[in-house]
């Protein structure tokens, strides 16, 4: 938790120091108030006091109250600035860091965890700092000062105050001990209930088809029952908090007056008035002491949560991206679209099993190279190595004759048009999605339309309201899966790269669209290299080179017909998709 403070800037530390100063002023003024009160009490008990005599301490009291408020406002201002400033900086740092991460780091954190770290965790820090600056610093100052002020007045009263604080601590301990751990249980059970509800909704058709409504309901009720039972317990325990605190406060006042009666009665007449006003004042101080302890204990409840958030943020900031930039921006002269793998091995860090072993192949300008193999054969990994989403464990990957590690990432990726397995769209417009990454002011309208047309997306785009400028919602939820895929293909086309990478990008399309699209692409890619990862034999039959992968190794390389003769794995795949006669027809 403390380490997070090293991200505060010097002027913010200055703000913190100023805050502390003003907190001291505030506490001083707050505690001054009862002093004037004592003065007034004494004046009242003294014979011959005029109204005018009372007004002086009275106006001082008002001044104190105003002063205290002003001081608190100043503290609040600086606290807000520091908290928001630090969270802005942390958020930006986490975001920039995450943007730099390679897939390896992203996967090791998981995307959803990174999102929480960049959003909720940071909000959490902002909260704790804003409150902390005001309460954490103030509480101990207030408590000590108030204790100093009241100590020496009368030990009985101090004992009464001590007992109250003690009771308060017991009360809070009960809550912390019994209710707090249950909060986590409640969270778990809520998640469980959500899961069952979600299952019930996603499986609606299956549940109805199997007449399993009662079955599902029983399951839901069980989750409901558990959640309610735990919630009941927590809420019943928590219900003691407010009445308990009221009781402690009121009880303390009563004790002070009750004890006071005996103390005053035993004192000699001289000291009585003094003691009486002490008593009135003491009750004010005592309340402050109890309040301070209350604030502190609240902090103890909040701190662990914030500490967890801080730790999670620091984890991100302290992770180094494994992929670093090279310096080259151009390949060897005269080489365009050339991709070569030389004995490439790849394994995820901390794993024994290699994902890829000894992969070598060359793809030249104008060629289409296809990768096929069963799930887990490593075909996606092969193409992910080219734009350096990962770096090869050993061996070399050359693009235009230069090792990919020697390029700046930007230059390397400018050569590549990558279409992922799962189409990704961003909130914006059709045009901003297709022209993604380019300077949006320079969108070439004619080429944009051409790209969309080639990707077979023209019809549905032009049917949309606003056409090329029609809105795409976050995650592309307002277009269908096939449309998303076509738009992401249009994105690759628009950037007219040297190298196209299609990672299983055609499976969301039906056969017909698939074929028309590939025909149109063919014309476009005559002077580019195309790498296709595919499931369907039909998609890749006409590739210049088909690379068959099995368990991370190349088990076949060649054209469709050759492979049908000499590659058992390929034959197996082919047979599962095409009938015998169709295979023979070829």
Per CB under 8 A, which of residues 294..353 are in contact with another protein?
none
Inter-CA distances, 413 with 87, 145, 218, 506, 509, Å:
32, 64, 53, 22, 26
**Distance of alpha carbon 284 from alpha carbon 343, whole angstroms:** 81
DSSP-assigned states of every residue in 216-278: HHHHHHHHHHHHHHHHHHHHHHHTTHHHHHHHHHHHHHHHHHHHHHHHHHHS-HHHHHHHHHH
Of 9-17, 65-73, 311-319, 395-403, the window that binds another protein (rule: CB under 8 A) is 65-73
Distance CA 286, CA 485 (A): 69
Taking CA atoms, 297 is separated from 292, 311, 374, in Å, by 9, 22, 58
Quick one: which segment of 5-13, 44-52, 351-359, 393-401 binds another protein (CB under 8 A)? 44-52
Nearer to another protein, 467 or 535 (CB): 535
Q: Which residue has the tokens 């606003």?
A: 466
- Residue from 285, 418, 468, 502 binding another protein (CB under 8 A): 418
Task: Return the residue of 409, 467, 470, 478 that touches another protein, per CB under 8 A.
Answer: 409
Count of chain residues binding another protein (CB under 8 A): 174
Nearer to another protein, 39 or 400 (CB): 39
Nearer to another protein, 87 or 357 (CB): 87
The SS3 assignment for 584 reads: helix
Reading the block at residue 565, the tokens are 């003769």
Token representation of residue 432: 């901003």
Please select the residue that binds another protein; options are 184, 442, 446, 512, rule is CB under 8 A: 512
Among 340, 513, 551, 557, binds another protein (CB under 8 A): 513
Least spacing, CB of residue 147 vs another protein, in Å = 20
Q: Which is nearer to another protein, 471 or 582 (CB)?
A: 582
The site map against another protein for 152-181 (x = CB under 8 A) is ------------------------------
Nearer to another protein, 445 or 480 (CB): 480
Q: Which of 24, 76, 321, 403 binds another protein (CB under 8 A)?
A: 76
Selected range binding another protein among 159-167, 354-362, 442-450, 474-482, rule: CB under 8 A: 474-482
Q: Do 529 and 366 touch, CB atoms closer than 8 A?
A: yes
- Comparing CA positions, the residue from 340, 332, 288, 280 lying closest to residue 499 is 340
Binder of another protein out of 2, 6, 184, 205 (CB under 8 A): 205
Closest CB to another protein among 350 and 441? 441
Nearest CB to another protein, comparing residues 26 and 357: 26
Shortest distance (Å) from residue 148 CB to another protein: 21
Instruction: Select the residue interacting with another protein from 97, 312, 458, 495 (CB under 8 A).
Output: 495
* Choices 312-320, 348-356, 372-380, 441-449; region in contact with another protein by CB under 8 A: 372-380
- Rule CB under 8 A: choose which of 19, 98, 164, 381 binds another protein: 98
How many angstroms separate the CA atoms of 245 and 242, rounded?
Answer: 5
Nearer Cβ to another protein (158/414): 414
Closest distance between another protein and the C-beta of residue 177, in Å?
18
Query: Measured from the CB of residue 81, what is the shortest distance to another protein in angstroms?
Result: 5
Query: Concatenated DSSP letters for 548-569?
Result: EEETTEEEEEE-HHHHHHH-HH
3-state secondary structure of 373: strand
Smallest separation (angstroms) from another protein to the CB of 568:
12
Q: Name which of residues 516 to 555 contact another protein (CB under 8 A).
A: 518-519, 521-522, 535, 538, 541-542
Contact 261, 272 (CB under 8 A): no
Cα gap 247→245, rounded to integer Å? 5
Taking the least distance from each CB to another protein, the nearer of 277 and 357 is 277
Report yes or no: 104 and 390 within 8 Å, Cβ to Cβ.
yes
- 499-503, strands of its sheet edge to edge: 416-419, 499-503, 529-533, 368-373, 545-550, 553-558
Which positions from 224 through 253 interact with another protein, judged by CB under 8 A? 224-225, 228, 231-232, 235-236, 238-240, 242-244, 246-247, 250-251, 253
Cβ-contact 399, 338 below 8 angstroms: yes
Q: Is 95 near another protein (CB under 8 A)?
A: yes
Tokens 């991100």 locate to 316
The helix/strand/coil state of 305 is helix
Task: Supply the DSSP symbol for 397.
Answer: E
236/512 Cα distance (integer angstroms):
63
Question: What is residue 447's three-state secondary structure?
Answer: helix
Work out the angle at residue 154's Cα, subtended by the Cα atoms of residues 152 and 160, and round it to the nearest 5 degrees. 115
Q: Which is nearer to another protein, 1 or 302 (CB)?
A: 302
């Amino acid at each position: 938790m403390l380490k997070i403070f090293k991200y505060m800037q010097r002027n913010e530390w200055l703000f913190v120091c100023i805050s502390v100063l003003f907190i001291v002023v505030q506490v001083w003024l707050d505690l001054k108030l009862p002093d004037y009160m004592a003065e007034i009490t004494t004046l009242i008990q003294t014979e011959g006091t005029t109204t005018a005599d009372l007004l002086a301490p009275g106006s001082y009291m008002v001044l104190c109250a105003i002063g205290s408020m002003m001081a608190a406002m100043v503290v609040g201002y600086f606290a807000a600035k520091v908290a928001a400033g630090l969270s802005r900086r942390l958020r930006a740092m986490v975001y920039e860091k995450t943007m730099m991460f390679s897939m390896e780091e992203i996967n090791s954190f998981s995307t959803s965890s990174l999102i929480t770290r960049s959003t909720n965790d940071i909000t959490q820090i902002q909260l704790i700092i804003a409150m902390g600056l005001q309460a954490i610093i103030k509480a101990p100052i207030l408590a000590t000062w108030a204790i100093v002020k009241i100590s020496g007045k009368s030990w009985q009263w101090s004992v009464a105050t001590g007992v109250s604080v003690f009771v308060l601590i017991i009360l809070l301990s009960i809550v912390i001990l019994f209710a707090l751990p249950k909060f986590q249980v409640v969270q778990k059970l809520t998640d469980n209930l959500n899961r069952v509800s979600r299952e019930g909704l996603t499986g609606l058709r299956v549940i109805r088809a199997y007449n399993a409504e009662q079955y599902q309901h029983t399951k839901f009720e069980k989750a409901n029952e558990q959640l309610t039972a735990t919630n009941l317990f927590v809420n019943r325990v928590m219900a003691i908090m407010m009445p308990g605190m009221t009781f402690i406060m009121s009880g303390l006042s009563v004790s002070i007056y009750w004890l006071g009666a005996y103390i005053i009665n035993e004192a000699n007449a001289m000291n009585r008035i003094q003691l009486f006003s002490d008593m009135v004042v003491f009750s004010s101080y005592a309340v402050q002491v109890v309040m301070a302890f209350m604030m502190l204990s609240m902090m103890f409840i909040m701190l662990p949560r914030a500490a967890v958030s801080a730790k999670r943020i620091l984890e991100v900031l302290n992770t180094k991206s494994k992929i670093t930039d090279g310096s080259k921006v151009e390949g060897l002269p005269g080489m365009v679209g050339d991709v070569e793998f030389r004995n490439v091995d790849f394994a995820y860090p901390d794993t024994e099993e290699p994902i890829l072993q000894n992969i070598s192949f060359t793809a030249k300008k104008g060629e289409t190279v296809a990768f096929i193999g069963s799930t887990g054969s490593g075909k996606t990994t092969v193409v992910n190595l080219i734009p350096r989403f990962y770096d090869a464990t050993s061996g070399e990957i050359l693009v235009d004759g230069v090792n990919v590690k020697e390029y700046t990432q930007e230059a390397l990726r400018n050569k590549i048009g990558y279409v992922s397995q799962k189409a990704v769209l961003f909130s914006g417009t059709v045009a901003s999605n297709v022209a993604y990454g380019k300077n949006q002011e320079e969108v070439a309208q004619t080429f944009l339309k051409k790209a969309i047309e080639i990707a077979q997306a023209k019809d549905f785009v032009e049917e949309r309201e606003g056409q090329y400028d029609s809105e795409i919602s976050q995650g592309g939820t307002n277009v269908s899966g096939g449309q998303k895929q076509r738009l992401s293909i249009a994105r690759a086309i628009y950037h007219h790269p040297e190298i196209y990478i299609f990672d299983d990008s055609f499976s969301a399309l039906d056969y017909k669209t698939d074929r028309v699209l590939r025909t149109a692409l063919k014309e476009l890619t005559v002077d580019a290299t195309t790498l296709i990862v595919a499931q369907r034999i039909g998609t890749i039959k006409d590739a210049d080179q088909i690379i068959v992968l099995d368990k991370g190794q190349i088990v076949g390389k060649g054209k469709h017909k050759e492979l049908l003769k000499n590659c058992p794995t390929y034959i197996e795949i082919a047979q599962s998709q095409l009938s015998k006669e169709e295979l023979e027809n070829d």
